[in-house]
Structure 1
Amino acid sequence: MSQTTISIRIDSELKKNMEAVCSDLGLNITTAFTIFAKKMVREQRVPFDVAIDPFYSESNLKHLREGIKELNAGRGVSHGLIED
């Protein structure tokens, strides 16, 4: 099987973190991307859910910023973690 080279641009911190995870798994980045590519071709889809985390929605971030502003101004109530 002939091989080819793919060149991609990625944030340097993300690359460093990915290399660390791959190393912990006994892989390198090339092997990780090859696993991803084979699974994508086999399943004919991105092999994981791609979604926007609602925590980072603009309305939630606005609410969080306002809460932080109130706490920093000495107003509001600081809550601990609340479990569902």
Structure 2
Amino acid sequence: MNSANLNIRTDKDVKEQAEQIFAELGLNMTIAINLFLRTAIRKRGIPFDLLLDAPNETTIAAMEEGKRLLNDPAAPKFSDMEDLKAALDS
């Protein structure tokens, strides 16, 4: 096997946490990184989904309610935090 060195920088805590997980799996850092690289080659891309955080159902419902209230002329509107706090306290 023709090998080459690969030097990377990462946060110390990330490295330690990853090493602990890999050790539990019976792997070391070198084997784990090689698994990642070989899988990326085989899949011809990153071997896991890269996703933006998607809102959960509760957040989606709150966003929809906010839009509904914004467009409802009967819904109370507040121009500053003091007015909002006063309304919540009453």
Unaligned runs of 5+ in 1: 56-75, 77-84
Instruction: Please say if 1:40 is aligned against 2:34.
Output: no
Once structures 1 and 2 are overlaid, which stretch shifts more, 45-54 or 2-11? 45-54
Using the aligned pairs only, state the percent identity. Answer: 32
Question: Which aligned pairs between 1:4-83 and structure 2 lie closer than 5 A?
Answer: 4-54=4-54
Give 3-state SS (helix, strand or coil) of 1:8's partner: coil
Q: How far apart, in 2, do the equivalents of 1:20 and 1:36 lie?
A: 17
Q: Any idea what SS the aligned residue of 1:50 has?
A: coil
* Off by >2 Å, runs of 4+ in structure 1: none
In 2, Cα distance between equivalents of 1:52 and 1:18? 22
Shift of 1:54: 3.3
Q: CA RMSD in A?
A: 1.4
